[in-house]
Structure 1
Amino acid sequence: MVPKIKALAAGLVAVSAVFALSGGAVANPATAATAVAASGMEAIFNTPPENGDRDHSIETRLVRLVDGAPAGSEIHFSVYSWTRPAVAEAIKAAQARGVKVRIAIDGGADDDPANTAMPILKSAGLTQLVFCGTGGVNTGCIAHDGSPHSINHDKLWMFSETEGKKDVVVIGSHNLTTVQGNMFNNALLTYGDADLYGFYLGHVRKMLAQKKDNNYYDDAGYHKSLNSMVTSYLSPRADSKGGTSEEFATDTWAQLLKWITKYEAGCSLNVVQANIADSRTPVVSELVRIGKLGCKVRIVYDDMGTAALAALKGKANVTLKRFNAAVGDREVTVHSKYMLYTGHYNETGNRSIVFTGSHNVSGAALRDNDEILIKVENPEISAAYQANFSTILARAKCVTSTGATC
């Protein structure tokens, strides 16, 4: 992470916690310290430098969280891809000191004999370690009927207690693999929200039990916490007939964007997406519509379908930048999946909202996979994401390995 952005995020989050818990007034130092410990949020970013070096800030933060978990506490993870040993070693040590650790992993994570993290986890005597759908085509924990497959694409890390904080939930875009250090990634940490923690504890328990449900969104995958103002939208989500068609009414991203209905001076939708697929026409149509309202729609992406690109290219107020830079043998690009909106939303003006998680703008993310998408309304978190977006937008370029533009 760029130190400047890291400092900004940390400072803004501290202010946010004090402000929210003191009714908007500036608390005295003693009260402020108590308030910050009670509840709050933290934005974490991987920001790989232009020289091709890797940034593993999110992984480093996770190691500290694991190391801070005391004996008798609990850790729950639901993750997709995990090959790096650092967090695995920390988890093994945590279990050994009396932390109860339960992990649900996509079954495909156990396929590579060169994976150095899995042997560590398997030898750690964890309270519960589940590889979902091992040996099959569908390796998701809840999703189970995708084409060509379903996966557990969650990036969820939970701690009942760590670093003196309670009910810590971390949701992000980041896999625990080396190549992720080449990519811009993000994570949101919340603490002190027992309601949000309880929802995700129930979610991980379903993952561990592999309770299959291809319409999980409607049955158990929606939750709004009034404590932290975090709303969760989990996949898989079936269409209105129980299928996988493109359908506006059951497209989670499109349904979130539909509430942007009025122009407000300075309104903007800043988008960082690893993948915008042709199978999400309702979302692409909403992006075009929001541009027509007069709001700036700025999109930085790694991969985009040809039909989606054609639909967005040249449209009013829509800016497209592909981030795919080759530095030696490394590809520096974006892996985050977030949108940051500032403006009039759902009949209320002057709002600032972050949408983020593991959910790509792809058909698989909506219909076939285990995924997390959250909505966060917190001005300081929005400011941290805006700083991150500004960095990404300024650096975004598409260059082939030969140095030619693409």
Structure 2
Amino acid sequence: MRIRYIAWPAALLVGASLLGAPAANADSTPVALTATFNNPAGPAAAQDAIRNQLISLINRTPAGAEINGSIYLFTDGGVSGALISARKRGVKVKLIVDGDAVPAYEPGSNPPKATGSEYQTLAAPTGLGTDPTADSWVLACPADRGCIGNRVLGPDDDGAINHNKFFLFSKVGGTENVVFQTSANLTGSQRKNLFNNAVTIPDAGTGLYAAYRSYWQDLAAYGASGPGLAGYYRTRQSGPYETYFFPRPESANTGYADDASTDTVVAALDGVDCAGGATRIRIGMYAFTRVQVADKLVRLKQAGCRVELLHNGESGNLGGAVKNAISGRFDLTARCAGSAPNGDGTSRTIGIHSKYLLIEGGYQGAVNRKVVFTGSHNYTYPNLRSHDETLLKIDDAAVHDAFVANFEAIKAGGYCTAW
């Protein structure tokens, strides 16, 4: 399958026709496998590339089809407007948001942090409504947990959230069963301050759509009633794709931060073969606090792999134990917290919010393998043990190469500093 790669220059062409676009009539154009990346330091269309890709999919969904979404934070009026327009033309739109997306701003945040200004618009009768028996609705997970996950890891933990960021389409244009998975929340800061990624995947008989939809149905069912679950973990192989849905509990009689045997990312890295020194591992990560993952990467570097990490520069996003474990041990470790002008004499910090792992070379007994792990899953203990999360493995060389191009562009862009 050929991949369509929306890089930053291409986004200039894509985005201009989508902002404020009315809902389009259904068409027969097929949906291509697509990797999309924004550039928060670029012009508006490059900043909005991921958001505009999503709006395009919504606008191309025909009457009678269904859109299922699960998103953490939602302040984007363009996306909510497209969803409401889709409902009005006969699309069934069913959306799950985290409880943090219900208030317009995060309580007590200073400065005020926008979280959910679009929920009220979507919940209104003129939006999607909240009736779970209707063809369209929006559901907020309970305020004190995720939709499935209900675990509090300790006294300093705020508890589980629905951290997912995906949309499912039963039909887009001439293509049935399309999955849109992104690292981005639907907020302005995600477009203008942070590098993010997305993939658009036509099912093409792989079963990927069914795997996601089964998980989405569980999010809806547990979110609507009951106390939720402390552990949920599900995986499914779907052709070249593999899904991992969280929270994943640790083994019995171990602490949540002590059990590498139930860390999905450590298990993924167990398949890497560094013999010959040709294997490369590239990571673009918002939050990284799991020291077992760091230790595994250090061992792979020592075994001959090339390991590079771009991490977000916000305080606390790189855990102290992780920093100590990796310091001076990778081929590149770079903190992404550069500055870009706003055009009014002020500036904004440019970081990375992506959550991807790229493996090129020896993997699971094969040579010259090219694999991507992406989704909503940060390398933190809550993302593993308590949150509603998705990790998606993509075994496709073209997708991998598109992600590598994004990694190299961020690395060379002047917003990440090696240390």
Please give the range of the TM-score, normalised by the shorter of the 2 chains. Answer: 0.7 to 0.9
Confirm whether residue 95 of structure 1 aligns to residue 87 of structure 2: yes
The CA deviation at 1:40 is 4.9
Q: Which residue of 1 aligns with 2:128?
A: 125
**How far 1:398 moved relative to its partner?**
5.3
What's the CA shift for 1:213?
2.5
Equivalent residue for 2:306, pick from 296, 307, 322: 296
Q: Distance in 1 between matches of 2:34 and 2:283?
A: 20
Residues 48/107 of structure 1: CA separation in 2 closer, same or farther (3 Å cut): same
> 1: CA distance between counterparts of 2:123 and 2:415?
41
Shift of 1:396: 4.8
Q: Kindly indicate whether the alpha-carbon contact (under 8 Å) linking 2:75 and 2:118 is maintained by their aligned counterparts in 1.
A: yes
Higher helix share: 1
Cα gap change, 1:51/1:321 in structure 2, threshold over 3 Å: closer, same or farther?
farther
Contact 2:237 2:243 in 1 (8 A): yes
Q: Choose the corresponding residue for 2:338, options 325, 328, 351.
A: 325
| 2:37 counterpart residue number | 45
Whether 1:260 aligns to 2:272 is yes
Name the % identity.
30
Q: TM-score, normalised by structure 1?
A: 0.84
- Seen in structure 2, the aligned counterparts of structure 1 residues 262 and 395 have a Cα distance that, compared at 3 Å, is same
Any residues of structure 2 matched to 1:343-382 within 5 Å, and which?
Answer: 343-382=361-400
1:241 to 2:252 alignment: yes
8 Å contact 2:215–2:245 — kept in the other structure?
Answer: no
- C-alpha distance in structure 1 between counterparts of 2:75 and 2:32, whole Å: 30
State the match for 1:169 in structure 2. 179
* CA displacement at 1:184 relative to structure 2: 0.6
CA distance in 2, matches of 1:141, 1:246: 26
Comparing 114-123 with 169-178, greater Cα deviation is found at 114-123
How far has the Cα of 1:262 moved from its partner? 3.3
Instruction: Tell me, in whole angstroms, the C-alpha distance in 2 between the residues paired with 1:143 and 1:272.
Output: 26
Distance in 2 separating the partners of 1:396 and 1:292 = 28
Change (3 A) 1:391 1:121: same
Q: Secondary structure of 2:160's partner?
A: coil
Alpha-carbon separation, structure 1, partners of 2:405 and 2:69 = 28
Whether the 8 Å CA contact 1:45–1:185 is kept in 2: the answer is: yes
Q: Deviations over 1:48-77 (max 9, x none)?
A: 236899701111111111111111000000
CA RMSD between the two structures: 2.4
Please report how far the alpha carbon of residue 84 of structure 1 lies from its aligned counterpart in structure 2 after TM superposition.
1.2
Alpha-carbon distance in 1 for matches of 2:174, 2:274:
43
Flag structure 2 segments of 5+ consecutive residues without an equivalent.
1-5, 13-27, 106-113, 130-135, 341-345
Residue 316 of structure 2 is aligned to residue 305 of structure 1: no
Could you tell me how far 1:193 is from its partner in structure 2? Answer: 3.4
- The worse-fitting range, judged by mean Cα deviation, of 176-185 and 319-328 is 319-328
* Deviations 1:319-364 (CA, angstroms, capped at 9, x unpaired): 1000101233411110000011101111211101011111001011
The alignment's TM-score, normalised by the length of structure 2, stands at 0.81
Q: Give the secondary structure class of the aligned counterpart of 1:166.
A: strand
Superposition map of 1:175-254 within 5 A = 175-181=185-191, 182-194=193-205, 195-210=207-222, 212-217=228-233, 221-226=234-239, 229-241=240-252, 244-254=256-266
Q: Does 1:395 align with 2:413?
A: yes
Instruction: Supply the AA of the counterpart residue of 1:118.
Output: Y
- Partner Cα distance (1:107, 1:351) in 2: 40
Q: Is 1:340–1:355's contact at 8 Å kept on the other side of the alignment?
A: yes
Query: Is 1:337 the counterpart of 2:355 in the alignment?
Result: yes
Cα distance in 2, alignment partners of residues 85 and 304 from structure 1? 32
Higher mean C-alpha deviation, range 263-272 or range 83-92: 263-272
Stretch moving more, 48-57 or 91-100? 48-57
Aligned equivalent of 1:24: none
SS of the equivalent of 2:286 reads: strand
Any idea what SS the aligned residue of 1:156 has?
strand
Match of residue 10 from structure 1: none
State the 1:125 CA deviation.
Answer: 3.3
